[in-house]
Amino acid sequence: MNTQLVMDNEGHIHFVQAGFLGNMHDAVSFRLMEPIGPGRNLDLPPSAKLFLANKVYPDGGSLLTPVRAGQMPFLNNRDRRRARRFNTLLSKRRVKIEHVFNEMKAYKAIGQI
């Protein structure tokens, strides 16, 4: 079973949706996510415009994903250094989400519907 989770920079969970089939790609699960209740958004501040995501999601729109290794050779040295720095900073932010998933699995909070 796949679960989608939306957290803010301070580690507060704003939205969790579980129940996606385990063989479903994460990007498909993200497209199928339903906001909390009909006609409501994810209850994020109006200034929130981007979601940090890992590399399995398509880049663009509201998703900010790391620069892929296949893209690096096409960058000049300065942009390559910036891309590596960006990837490092993105990983440091995303680790909070991975820790929350670990705790949810350890306490079987999302083990079944």
Tens-digit pLDDT profile for residues 14-30 = 777 777 777 777 777 77
Q: What is the dihedral of CA 61, 21, 23, 51, to 10 degrees?
A: 20
Q: Is the pTM of this model over 0.85?
A: no
Provide CB contacts within 8 A for 28, sequence distance 6+. 20
pLDDT band at 34 (very low <50, low <70, confident <90, very high): low
Neighbours of 6 (CB within 10 A): 19
Domain spans in the chain, listed from the N-terminal domain onward: 2-106
